[in-house]
Chains A and B, each alone.
Chain A
Amino acid sequence: MDGLTEKIAAIVEEANQDGAFRQQLLDEPLACLKARGLDISDSSLLEISYTAGYGVFLGIDIRALSDAPSQPKEPRGKDINSDHFLDCLNVNSRNGISE
């Protein structure tokens, strides 16, 4: 998990376990998320609900989050193409050529 996913996982877990925090999240989502390190400017970028038997649903528009993934299951952080390039130059510790 990257930091953002961890942050959201922690918020959802806390909201599912702590009724007071959950109510705060449902009532004042922007302030509540900001206090947990997620600064979102507009509530239209969020979808929040709670259903007994299902738990808290927290959908966030990734355009509101600067370090969010744009593609699921794609590498993030380092550029995969630059790694391949370094592989070709034998710069990485394990290069792509058998001895």
Chain B
Amino acid sequence: MSKINNLRDWLEFLDRTKRLICLEDNIALEYDVLRYIEHFEGKQACFFSRPGGHEVPIAGGLLGQRQWVAELLELPIDQILPAFQRALKAPLAWNVVEQDSAAVHEVTHDKDIDLKRILPIITCHERDGGPYITSGLVHGLNLETDKQNLSINRLQVQGPDRLSILMLPRDLFAYYQAAEKLDKELPVTVTIGHDPVVELASQAIAPRDVCELTIAGALKQRPIDVVKSYTNDVHIPADAEIAIEGFIVPHKRVLEGPFGEFPKYYTGQDLLPYIRITCITHRRNPIYRVNNPSGIENVIIGGIPRESSILERMQLNFPNVLDVRLTAGGLGRFHLIVKIIKKQYGEAKNVIACAFGCHYDIKMVTVVDEDIDINDSEQIEWAIATRFQASRDLVIIQHGLGSKLDPSGDKRGLNDKLGLDATKYLGDDERFYVSRIPPSLGNVYDRLAKDSQSLASYLRP
């Protein structure tokens, strides 16, 4: 069973393994907190004890590398996706605990709610429309089925007890549309600060009404403890640091944005739904979690669960697909590498077509052979350099559905798709025989001299 059960366990683990730094007090909530997180991300997590003089500390940069995720899950790095695939197939029901026993309910604010006084909410980028909660896990309740969904949505502070919410056309938005048809408010609770497994699971591409908390439970191989919110019927992780309870108001919209989104460009202003906050609860000494919206951590949290869903779907059609990777340069969304054992002529192009069907965000697919390490961008480029011919191996699909957040695409989301078959041409083994230095006995480090004396004595005999 995992040793990491909440955000605190993970922070202590990062600290013990020298991957966490503590910052001085009074680092400004506007821009500076994120500047530090971005500077150190991938190498060190950051802990701000009194950010902007606020009593509630901030933690960020908590999943800086894929290897950290492997350690979190206590798995070899190449077993992360299979573990997600297994979890998607066999979600584990949550365990409900008493309201009074939940850590997230230790302190309650149900009158005169003032978001900025209670929480150190940061402003991320110079042109952002204001402070945003970037790591809020939104638990929504489907009024028709009584099932829940879990997603990460950007939330702009609009007032002391109002948050606007961006819902892309997925499950939570479908719940909201259904509630609007009934002229009812949609119950939601936003939780902040969790066992990072819960954050990862929130990004799984699960069927509607399969709550991602049950996928988190399967990943951890134990049910997630949940507790019912005080002012709505939404269940939330009992070990969360902070919970913001409320309802998404039907039909009404508020001005939202601009905001620097994950592709590192701004989305403009728009009219979005908003949450009417009814209660905020938290631990006695809560920790506020910040996620860099356009940083490495976002790539990892968004990328790994997507990869597992894409791999699962592709292997249904092509069992010879070995692995997939959404690259960091492609923001963990747009560029997919597929590793296959190629068996038939033209097969890589079918694999490319299949990949585009797995998720509309995917803009470029590169298919490589089994000898390529898909975590190594130099090896991928080498495969393209030596195994790819544009007139033979390039696939272009114009005007497919893509991400509306890709600024190079059509505003309606129409996007060109690019596929590269960078696999060896079948039947020409001799030309593609890779040169290598024959392996010798023993480890190269066995033959290192103790010092550089041989160089010094040769230069100055």
Residues of A within 8 A of B (CB): 1, 4-5, 8-9, 12, 47, 49, 51, 53-55, 57-63, 68-69, 71-75, 78, 80, 83-84, 87, 94-98
Contacts and interface: CB of A to CB of B under 8 A. Distances in A.
B251 A62 contact: yes
Interface stretch (B68-76, B166-174, B315-323, B424-432): B166-174
A57 B271 contact: no
Contacts of B158: 54, 57
B107 interface: no
A5 B271 contact: yes
* Residue in B251, B396, B397 whose Cβ sees the most chain A Cβ within 10 Å: B251
For the complex of A and B, the 5 pairs showing the least CB-CB separation, nearest first, are: A75-B412, A57-B159, A59-B252, A96-B399, A96-B398
A1 B253 contact: no
Interface of B: 116, 130, 157-160, 162, 166-169, 173, 177, 249, 251-255, 268-274, 396-399, 404, 411-414
B373 to A, nearest CB: 32
A11 to B, nearest CB: 9
Given A54-B160, A80-B412, A60 B398 contact: no
Most buried by A among B162, B177, B272, B404: B162
Contacts of A72: 166-167, 173, 270-273
A75 B411 contact: yes
A57 B398 contact: no
A12 B271 CA distance: 12
Contact of A8 (B157, B177, B252, B255): B255
18 contacts: A4-B271, A5-B270, A8-B255, A47-B249, A47-B252, A54-B158, A58-B255, A59-B254, A60-B271, A61-B251, A63-B251, A68-B271, A73-B166, A73-B404, A75-B412, A84-B399, A94-B399, A96-B399
Looking at chain A's contact residues, the main secondary structure is: mixed
Nearest to A63: B251
Contacts of A60: 252-254, 271
Contacts of A47: 249, 252
Nearest to B394: A98
Contacts of A58: 254-255
A5 B159 CA distance: 19
B401 to A, nearest CB: 9
A96 B168 CA distance: 25
A4 B253 CA distance: 12
A75 B412 CA distance: 5
A34 to B, nearest CB: 18
Contact of B253 (A12, A54, A62, A96): A62
Given A57-B254, A72-B166, 19 more contacts: A5-B269, A12-B255, A47-B252, A54-B116, A54-B157, A57-B158, A57-B162, A58-B254, A60-B252, A61-B251, A61-B252, A68-B253, A72-B270, A75-B411, A78-B412, A94-B398, A96-B397, A96-B398, A97-B398
A90 to B, nearest CB: 11
B113 to A, nearest CB: 11
